[in-house]
């Protein structure tokens, strides 16, 4: 994993309350999370005992 250059915001008691990261790193994290969600959705659908249909056929059924 790439190293993240984060900075912490702390309250008066020294407890970490927020994290600051460069915007590019934030965008990369969001992209990685989106990919992870897609993988989880695929794994969930794959493990269901339902008949799978091709994407084009599903789009026709939805009139898209």
Residue 1 lies in a domain: no
How sure is the predictor about 49, in pLDDT bands with cuts at 50, 70 and 90? confident
Phi, psi of 43 (to 5 degrees): -60, -40
Strand pairing partners for 20?
7
Q: And the tokens for 3?
A: 């190293």
Q: How far apart are CA 49 and CA 1, in angstroms?
A: 35
Residue 11 lies in a domain: yes
Residue 27 lies in a domain: yes
Min mean pLDDT across 11-15, 24-28, 45-49, 57-61 is at: 45-49
Q: Is the pLDDT of residue 63 over 90?
A: no
Which element (helix H / strand E) includes 7? strand 7-10
The pLDDT assigned to 1 comes to 53
CA 5 to chain centre: 20
Q: How many helices (H) and strands (E) does the chain have?
A: 2, 2
Domains: count for the chain: 1
Residue 2 lies in a domain: no
The pLDDT assigned to 42 comes to 87
Q: Identify the domain containing residue 42 by its residue range.
A: 7-61
């Amino acid at each position: 994993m790439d190293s993240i250059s984060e900075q912490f915001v702390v309250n008066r008691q020294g407890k970490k309350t927020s994290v600051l990261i460069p915007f590019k790193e934030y965008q990369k994290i969001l992209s990685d999370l989106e990919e992870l969600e897609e993988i989880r959705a695929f794994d969930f659908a794959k493990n269901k005992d339902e008949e799978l249909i091709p994407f084009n056929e599903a789009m026709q059924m939805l009139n898209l």
